[in-house]
Each structure stands twice: as C-alpha cells, then as structure tokens.
Amino acid sequence: MNFISRLSSLALKWLAVFVTGAALLGAWQPEFFSFFTGHVPLLLAIIIFGMGATLTLPDFGRVLKHPGKIFFAALLQYTIMPVGAWGIAVLFSLPPELAVGLVLLGSCPGGTASNVITYLARGDVALSVTMTAFSTMLAPLVTPLLVWSLAGHWLEIPVAGLFRSILTIVILPIALGLACRSLFPRTIQAGINILPIISMLAICLIVGAITGQHAREFFRISLMGAAAILAHNVLGLGLAWTMGWWAGFKRPQLKALTLEVGMQNSGLAATLALAHIHPLATLPGVLASVWQNITGPVLASFWTSKPDSGPDALGKNRAACQKNIT
C-alpha cells in the first residue's frame, strides 16, 4: 500500500474526528474559514464530482439487475427519513427554521459516506454505490417536493430554487465525473485513492465555514438540535434494518440498505438550507455531518465484531428450531 492509499485510509477512519475538529475550530476561530464561506456550493460540487468519478455506466446498469432492491431502498430513503424528520420536529417542538432544516436533511438522498462505511462493515459496496447514485438522480424532483409538502406550513419553500441548486451542485458534477471516468480512465484510476482525502477536506471546510459564520445561533439551540439529529439518525438506521430484514435482504445487502437510508447527504442539506432557507436551517446538516460519521463507523465495528449475529443468524436459528420440532 503506497503513501496516498495509507493517507486515504487514515482520512476515512478518522473522518468523524476531523469533522468535529473543523466544527470546533470554526466556532473558536471563524476567520480561519472566512475565505470558504462563499464557496460552500463549490466545495459540495467537488465532493459530488468525486462520487461521479468513481462511478461507471455499469454501476447504473445494476438498477436493472436488482430493480426491486434499488427501488425499495429509494422508497425507504424518501419515506422514512423525511416523514420521520417531520414527526421528530413536531415532537421536539423545534423552531420553524430548525424544523425545516431537519425535514430538508431527511429529504436529501443518501450520502457518499454510506458507501465507505458499507465497505468497512463488509457490506455489499456495489449495491450501496448504486443505491446512492439512484437516490441522488431522483433528488432534483423528489427533494423539493418533499420539503414543500412536509415543511411548507412552517416557512415558504422555494421549490424552483431548490430544484435548480440540486441540478447545479449535484447532477452536473456527477455527469462531469462520469464523463471524466469514461474519457480519462487511466488518469482517474491513478488518482482514485486521493479522492477520499479531497472529499474529507471539502466536508471539513463546509462544516467549519458554516459553523464559524453562525456559531452563536448554533450554540443557542445546539442541544435541542443535537437531540433531534440523534433521534432522526437512529430512527432511520433502525427502521431500515427492520424493513430490510422483513423484505428478505441478505446480510451484506442489509448492511448497505441500513447505512444508505440512515446516512443522508448532510453537506447537500446544509448547502441548500444556507442558500434558500435560513442560516439556522443549516444546523441539522452540520450536526449530521458529525453525528452520522460517528454512528456509521460504530455500527460497522459492531457488525464486523459479531459475524454470527443479525438476520442471517436468526434465520439459521429459526431453521434449526423448525428442524428439531419436525
């Protein structure tokens, strides 16, 4: 393993620590990130471009190979998370700006971090990548409509603005990444290990810039927001695992499904909130950037430490019991 590969692995392993450090540094020394405050959409586009550069056309072909699983994942993604966010916002009596931000977070597609955590958890990485790509391609239409329908009674939702922004900072970079992968395959493959490092730096800069710009408001409501984000993340992971188990997903696929549904594109949520909603609406996205990069690796470690636990083991135990009975 060369130096870049080792550095990339280190960046992925300690992503939560780096993101937390960026948030604290932004709150303590906001001028450190002041240059990047106006470039948050560009930073997110760089992250999404990296995602597109790791994809190939056969990745999208897997939608035809496993249509039921891909559509099932998208259905859970765009029902459990946005409706769950709305319910938590009502339950916690969140302020309107924070409530809309949480619904926006829940209405965003799965994040690329879910692919990395799926790999660490020994899940079905190919399926995870396809799930993320498919939910992301649906986002320009689905995300604005969900936010408008679930959160429009709290604040006015600029549906057209959200649609244009998602096209600009999500779909276009993915298309460019795919094009570069097709036109310059050797160059992209040679630099594939550095993409996680670039993505990690971009995530840290986004979190630091947004936190530094609105640190005072964040601290005022951060405890309430942190509790809501925690509940939302746990709800998504738990329900996705349960629904996937009942649907008959095998263990590696179940890991991919759980992480895909439970881990949102928090950078996209924060960027859209900052551009179209309200600065306080970015709080769920910022906190989720930290929190889900803690719960994801912890869950992956739990899964890999207990290879005989989970639905597969339950199925074997159930079959053994039935055999003994008969």
pLDDT tens digits along 26-56: 888 888 888 888 888 888 888 888 877 877 7
Q: Which residues pair with 110 in a beta bridge?
A: 264
- The CATH number assigned to the domain holding 86 equals 1.20.1530.20
Q: What percent of the chain has pLDDT over 70?
A: 86
Per-residue pLDDT reduced to its tens digit, 87-133: 999 999 999 999 999 999 999 999 877 887 887 788 888 888 888 88
Residue 68's identity, in one-letter code, is G
Per-residue pLDDT reduced to its tens digit, 203-232: 888 888 888 877 776 676 667 778 898 899
- Mean pLDDT value of segment 129-150: 92
Query: Is 77 a residue whose pLDDT tops 50?
Result: yes
**Which of 10-14, 200-204, 318-322 shows the lowest per-residue confidence on average (mean pLDDT)?**
318-322
Task: Please report the pLDDT score of residue 270 as a whole number.
Answer: 87
Task: Please report the pLDDT score of residue 323 as a whole number.
Answer: 39
* Distance (Å, whole) CA 122 – CA 255: 8
Q: How many domains does the chain have?
A: 1
Per-residue pLDDT reduced to its tens digit, 125-136: 888 888 888 899
Q: Which residues pair with 264 in a beta bridge?
A: 110
* Distance (Å, whole) CA 139 – CA 161: 13
Closest alpha carbon to 251 in 181, 314, 320, 169: 314
* Distance (Å, whole) CA 323 – CA 133: 42
* Distance (Å, whole) CA 275 – CA 267: 12
Kindly state the tokens that stand for 58. 């056969």
> Between 10 and 20, whose confidence is greater?
20
Cβ atoms of 188 and 53 closer than 8 Å: yes
Q: At what angle do helices 15-28 and 3-13 cross, to 10 degrees?
A: 70
Per-residue pLDDT reduced to its tens digit, 153-179: 999 999 999 999 999 888 888 889 888
**Site of tokens 């970015």:** 282
The per-residue pLDDT of the chain, averaged, comes to 83
Domain containing residue 11 = 3-325
Q: How many CB atoms lie within 10 A of CB 93?
A: 8
Which ranges of the chain does DSSP label H, i.e. alpha helix?
3-13, 15-28, 40-53, 57-65, 67-77, 80-91, 96-106, 113-120, 125-151, 159-166, 172-183, 185-190, 195-213, 215-246, 251-262, 266-272, 283-305, 311-325
* Distance (Å, whole) CA 299 – CA 285: 20
